[in-house]
Structure 1
Amino acid sequence: MPRPGETARRRGRRQGEPVSKEAVLAAAKTRFARDGYEKTTLRAIADDARVDPSMVLYLFGSKEQLFRESLRLIIDPAVLVSAFAATGGDPADIGTRIVATYLGVWEAADSAQSMRVMLASATSNPDAHEAFRSFMQDYVLTAVSGVLGGGEQARLRAMLAASSLVGTAMLRYVMGIAPLSELPTEDVVRLLAPVVARYLTADAGELGLPE
């Protein structure tokens, strides 16, 4: 009869086999999307990725940091920047492309459930909230404000646009509040695009941005 330690080693990763950070992230994304932040444990993620729990901590430091990094698999800031750059700076296109790209993440089959559960977690758990906050500030707002030229005004513009996008997502996809939840996607894009474009491109004086 094999000793308990031998059985555990056979179920897990072979000794000397390299640990893939991407595999751990993929396992974390799946777990967070299925169970939410509070019910997900590092041990469960480690089991799914076939690594030792200590390796998960070594790679990411904490469950909060792992949650933050998992968000990048769903909302890639580079995709939003690409949508912005594809407009050539045309205000008429900027809002449409960014809103359509963002809503597309919420409605794609491979990310819709993850987005709903992870945003719900961010509003109900303080650690998940902090992870989401730092993800928005360190990745999304930094990337978008960089396209706008950088600086505090650019970050504020990006935050104002994000507030419209995240608020819409919360009401439409997480809480499912009508009539917003019942509108066709193209109508939501048409209605929200001018607001997002204005925050990103309107004259600072017109918006009343602090100097």
Structure 2
Amino acid sequence: MRIVLVGPPGAGKGTQAERLTKTLSIPHVSTGDLFRANISQGTELGRLAKSIMDTGKLVPDEVTIAMVKDRLQHADTENGFLLDGFPRNTAQAVALDEILKEFGIALDGVLDLEVPEEEVVGRIAGRRLCRNDSQHIYHVIYKQPAAEGVCDECGGELYQRSDDSEETVRTRLEVYHTETEPIIDYYRKQGLVTTISALGTVDEVTERAIAALRENAND
């Protein structure tokens, strides 16, 4: 199964991607992972991306597209893949169609995780991290520490990352609505989009996603 996962920041794409790829036995292809892997391995694309990022500029679409194209030629994608973070805009979606056409394959579906904007703001702006270990994550509503502002695991101070502030989250949402959301309409015209609610427990969303993908595959 070849899937594109899309949704606003805070929709839980990373968590659902890990669960879906395990259930469907396909690799999780994340643009973030691709950038880190190419840079750490010192590939030509990685060196190019790093040289651009070091100047504070955004990596051009053509570099990201080239990394994805290279990744989709690996043997583990033969039976499918889940793309997370790509395509990020319509130009990348068009490029992906061209790549898949060149490979003689096509997408099976696009899973759209839908979350109300205020829920997204609440999820992200409410996060608190431990200064000693950023893997210790809390939330002012959903996962409160025993003592306010103190990590249960190590006693470290809990803080809010600057990019988790409400102002920053709303800016990220504006970027999503402007740049990424249009790909949903692009794929909807191809009859590929299935939209599900990303509200509820992680298990509930996963069950909803699996059911939607399997129903779409049987259509």
TM-score range (shorter-chain normalised) is: 0.3 to 0.5
- Structure with greater strand share of residues: 2
Structure number, greater radius of gyration: 1
TM-score of the pair, normalised by structure 2: 0.31
- Structure with greater helix share of residues: 1
TM-score of the pair, normalised by structure 1: 0.32
